[in-house]
Amino acid sequence: MFYKPLTTISILIGVALSLSFKNIWDPALLDWKIIDSKISTYLIQNNHDNYVVEFIRSSDKEMFYYEIIENGIRKGFLVTGKAPSKYNHFDFFVILNLNLKIEYLDIIKYRENWGYEISNKKWLRQFSKLTDSRLGSKNQVQAISGATISVHSLCSYIDVILEDLKNI
Amino acid sequence: MKLYLLTITLCVGLVNFTNAQTTLNGNTSSRILTGDEGLHIGGYAQIDFNQEIFNDNIFNNSKLDVHRLVTFFGYNFNEKTSFVAEVEIEHVVEVYVEQAFLSHKLNDKFNLNAGLMLIPMGIQNLYHEPPTFNGVERTNVDKYIVPTTWREIGVGVSGRLKSYSINYELMAINGFSGYSDEQGSFGGSNGLRSGRQKGAESYMNKPDFAARINYYGEPGLSLGISAYIGCSESEEYNNLDLNNNFDLASADSTIVGIEMLGIDARYNKGPLQLRGQYIVANISNTEQYNIKSNSDLGKKLSGYYAEVGYDLLNKKNTNEELIGFFRYENYDTHSDVDVVTFKNDAYNRTEMTFGLGWKVAKGAMLKFDYQILSNASETSNKSEKLNFGTAIWF
């Protein structure tokens, strides 16, 4: 009576594990034109138009930290990364000023049909208004029914970024 | 700007090197579980305790059940192409495939999907992982009107129109099996539910169509409109001689036309959770169908619910949630009937459910609720039900 489900599951796990693994994410895949445009907008609004972006380091969570430099002076930070959604992952980037206040947050690529609501610009704007750096704690960020995992994932990653940047 | 681009190029090169180094570390299982590679594994489960309350000196045993255990396997072949499969074990001994489809992304606005797919109708047919809804059991509107989990084989397109904050899904799939082995599958109590083919050696006379549009432009708000149109399938059309008018008429009396429409809304604001749904299905040709199959399928099925929830641990410094909720639900599989069918008011059912859900971790929940069940029949007595449940999703 019980062998059928167990056999089916065993076969599926076997087939799944026998598939080869391939890394599918790479920062080169990001649309850097969008990021460039957002940095330009942010800096120009602050009367800056001549800048470079230099790589600082990467993290275990596959986030990549850069500093935004204008005339040899650090003006802010850019962090790109990928975070898990329900069954896939999404790419995002965030621009922060030297006080670690979020100036701009965007979802560059959202791959699956669940949780896509986090790419809503209006929803993302709330991150720029937050004062509590611990976003992972509930009620700091508005929940979205149907996108719980992606909301939690993004908040957790932003928390990690804020902690990491304190040490840079 | 040139300097900027050069720096970026160097950065990406360095990042690639760093990335290559990091992905060489870690064992296979950790890589699978962290989702860093092409293969993804997940799942959800619901384990229930149900007790009908002792009433009119009639005693009922309680029921304890591993209601469902679902394992997910997904494989990303590359950035654009992925395969999604969910295998479900219900009540420990029944095995089903809940989803199995290939998805290929042409661009953000346009994905091509093919295989066994969930019909995009209402909230819970798409979002039915137990921690995503309040109450131990799924809502009955999503059982008797929308036959969750409703999935069939077909092809479709889906995508997002970002500038309008709209997500859409459109598909052509096989319809319900309405008549097979000289028996009708549809009925007054369960509506269309017993006609689901679930991808198991399904058959089709002609395709049905389903579509859904979801608007997510306001933070915390999600509004959906779903539609389904088509005819049920019938084995009577197999090997049918189209020149034989008698056989053709006989076969025509074994199918019904189905038009289903749903609207739903979900809204979250801080600790407050609101959600509601209305579904209506108009069924045509029921008179002939009911005579042919000696059935009592209604010609209109409808149902709705409204629910309010509140996180009682809102003020506490914890990531846990304790959600108190109340839901009012009404569903009627005999909203309207044809002239040969007796309208059974017992199929007009109302449920009031209140309870608590303790979210001990993201994706893990302990549930309790109490239900007061009634129907519109003059001879009906109210019954009550106590439910406890374990709900997980990972």
Q: Which residues are CB-contacts of B78 (< 8 A; sequence separation ≥ 6)?
A: A22, A24
Q: Give the integer Cα–Cα distance in Å for A143 and B271.
A: 9
Q: Which residues are CB-contacts of B202 (< 8 A; sequence separation ≥ 6)?
A: B152, B153, B174, B177
Residue B318's Cβ-count burial label (10 Å; 0-12, 13-18, 19+) is exposed
* Residue A79 C-alpha, separation from nearest chain B C-alpha, in angstroms: 12
B10, B22, B217: residue with CB nearest A120: B217
Residue A118's Cβ-count burial label (10 Å; 0-12, 13-18, 19+) is buried
Residue A136 clears pLDDT 50, i.e. is over it: yes
8-state DSSP, B239: T
Q: How many domains does chain A have?
A: 1
Verify whether the Cβ–Cβ distance B319 to A17 is below 8 Å. no
Please tell me the pTM assigned to this model: 0.82
CATH code of B2-393, in short, is: 2.40.160.10
Interval B262-305: pLDDT, tens: 999 999 998 999 999 999 999 999 999 999 999 999 999 999 99
Verify whether the Cβ–Cβ distance A64 to B268 is below 8 Å. no
User: Is A6 in CB contact (< 8 Å) with chain B?
Assistant: no
> How would residue A8 be classed by pLDDT, with cut points 50, 70 and 90?
low
The residue count of chain A comes to 168
Contacts of A146 in chain B (CB under 8 A): 123, 127, 132, 222, 266
Interval B342-369: pLDDT, tens: 999 999 999 999 999 999 998 899 999 9
In a domain, A26, yes or no: no
Verify whether the Cβ–Cβ distance B220 to A143 is below 8 Å. yes
Verify whether the Cβ–Cβ distance A23 to B4 is below 8 Å. no
For residue B149, cis peptide bond before it (omega within 30 degrees of 0): yes
In a domain, A90, yes or no: yes
- How much is the mean pLDDT over chain B? 88
Interval B53-105: pLDDT, tens: 866 677 889 999 999 999 998 888 887 898 999 999 999 999 999 999 999 99
In a domain, A13, yes or no: no
Size of interface A-B (CB pairs under 8 A): 167
Q: Give the integer Cα–Cα distance in Å for A161 and A101.
A: 11
Strand pairing class (A102-110; B39-52): unpaired
User: Is A106 in CB contact (< 8 Å) with chain B?
Assistant: no
A51, A88, A149: residue with CB nearest B76: A88
In a domain, A3, yes or no: no
Tokens 């840079």 identify what position? A168
Closest by Cα among B294, B319, B193, B14 to A155: B319
Residue span of the structural domain in which A88 resides:
31-166
CB A90 within 8 A of CB A110: yes
> How would residue B149 be classed by pLDDT, with cut points 50, 70 and 90?
very high
